[in-house]
Structure 1
């Protein structure tokens, strides 16, 4: 997860579900391609989706998520990594257009915000546990 240095906000995908208009938040990232390391997936996905270079740190945990999206049942394993934007100026915009998904926008949000659901369900707890047990790395 990328945290904004001044506020601790998370950079996440804000998704509007086609057909229902339901809005929710999820970690920015994407699917791992065969033979690809998870950290490389994050680097590739951030470039493809937002044109952003990132530096991937340690893995914070893994979460299992069962969900329904666009009327279809889904099941995923979400690998959560600490990461930083490569360029300090990239932390400035409050919203970013996703380049390959028209129903997704990159936004900053507080991990404790509850007005819009954050999935997977245990993500906020995982991040809170990490904050209390680790000192955040310096941001360039």
Structure 2
């Protein structure tokens, strides 16, 4: 039986360019390339901020500092032919080590079809999900 998944997403801005660190993924059935902020599932009993620290370490070897929660988004989607439903807790996050902002592309350790990339603030050719995320981050600027 399908269920709603709770996820935590990190809004990480590059300190020099303002670019957003995102997961770049291709849907294996449709071939659609899309971006979503890095993050992942919140486990039972885990705080969303702790899930971000764990997920970013597991996926990219990044140490992060989780800041304020920016908002909550509900996401209905289809990926690989399967319907999905997520509640996304979105947080402002900074990298603990400034050297981590250097690589343009960073392979995800536990998902071979995902690559971490810095998305330019002017990027509009590649969809950014979940819907409504841009409204949450528009006022943040670069920090």
Aligned residue in 2 for 1:31: 41
Q: Can you give the 5+ residue segments of structure 2 that lack an aligned partner in the other structure?
A: 1-10
Aligned residue in 1 for 2:15: 5
Q: What is the deviation of 1:130?
A: 4.0
User: Which structure features the higher share of strand residues?
Assistant: 2
- Contact 2:29–2:81, Cα closer than 8 Å, also in 1: no
Aligned residue in 1 for 2:79: 69
**TM-score normalised by length of structure 2:** 0.88
Aligned partner (choices 93, 96, 104) of residue 114 of structure 2: 104
Aligned partner (choices 22, 27, 48) of residue 17 of structure 1: 27
What is the RMSD of the two structures over their aligned residues, measured on CA atoms? 1.3
- 1:119 equivalent in alignment to 2:129: yes
User: Which structure features the higher share of helix residues?
Assistant: 1
Structure number with higher relative contact order (C-alpha < 8 Å, ≥ 6 residues apart): 2
**TM-score normalised by length of structure 1:** 0.90
Aligned residue in 1 for 2:6: none
Q: How many residues align?
A: 133
Aligned residue in 2 for 1:43: 53
